[in-house]
Structure 1
């Protein structure tokens, strides 16, 4: 009996938790770019823009599909990890600890109105905690990655 009560209670709790979720807004160290594109369109545009850059898609993960299989409907939500092996080797030579941050991730979220937003933490922000180890060279590599990520974001969000 208890099992039958827990399933509906769990679905209700998840529904209430996602009801309070709001569209992403700017925050320290992040780039947040709302678009008129749908979630699927923005995912495709982001993957294409990464492919046309000096970066590569390294990982991709999101809870939307798995939640749907469990009967829970949530807005489109996907993280796309992107990086470049040349940068990985250079950063690793400067700070072993810094490589925990690679790949740096783009975040595609569906907005309440059905449009989508592309967000990411700037690589300079992501790698800043390792500046004591990697010094000016790590900061320079992170700035180069900032430019690559900005280029991908610009291409992906262009209309």
Structure 2
């Protein structure tokens, strides 16, 4: 008769699960179902440079929000490695009025600000795309009083920015 320790099989299963978890999901898994609910993807007939310029103008035309963060893989790769990659930039947009209201409604929701726009260039066509999650989708997991109303106001502002930038 063979006596096995009671946790041998579960321990092996846990080790396998840990190894699979460490390896992460298959690469395509992150894109399954994209674009997700609340994500707006607007393909344009503009070059990347023209979309960036139009986006900057569209945000500047708003009185309640501003570009408060900007990160560009294109610029970073060029500066660090001297290589050119297709246009790619994330711009965080928000305003102090909304920050105050958001934090009054929900401190945990603060991790979501600023809300991002993603500007990308198709390497084959040279045309640019503007992508963003609607503020309502961003703040949906939180239940602070007044947060949904504030997000709806931001939805309208973000839609105005997207429309102006992509037309």
Q: Verify same fold: TM over 0.5.
A: yes
Q: CA deviation at 1:127?
A: 0.7
TM-score normalised by L of structure 1? 0.78
Q: CA deviation at 1:73?
A: 3.0
Query: How far apart, in 2, do the equivalents of 1:66 and 1:144 lie?
Result: 33
- Between 1:66-75 and 1:40-49, the stretch displaced more is 66-75
Find the structure with the greater CA-based Rg: 2
CA offsets per residue over residues 99-124 of structure 1, 9 Å max, x none? 11111011100013100001101000
Aligned to 1:139: 148
Query: How far apart, in 1, do the equivalents of 2:36 and 2:101 lie?
Result: 29
Residue among 89, 94, 106 paired with 2:105 = 94
Query: How far apart, in 1, do the equivalents of 2:36 and 2:141 lie?
Result: 18
Structure with greater proportional helix content = 1
TM-score normalised by L of structure 2? 0.75
User: Structure 2 regions of 5+ residues with no counterpart?
Assistant: 1-26, 28-33
Query: How far apart, in 2, do the equivalents of 1:65 and 1:82 lie?
Result: 19
User: Structure 1 regions of 5+ residues with no counterpart?
Assistant: 1-16, 18-24
Flag as ranges the 4+ runs of structure 1 deviating above 4 A. Answer: none
Query: How far apart, in 2, do the equivalents of 1:58 and 1:73 lie?
Result: 25
> How many residues are paired up?
133
SS at match of 1:46: helix
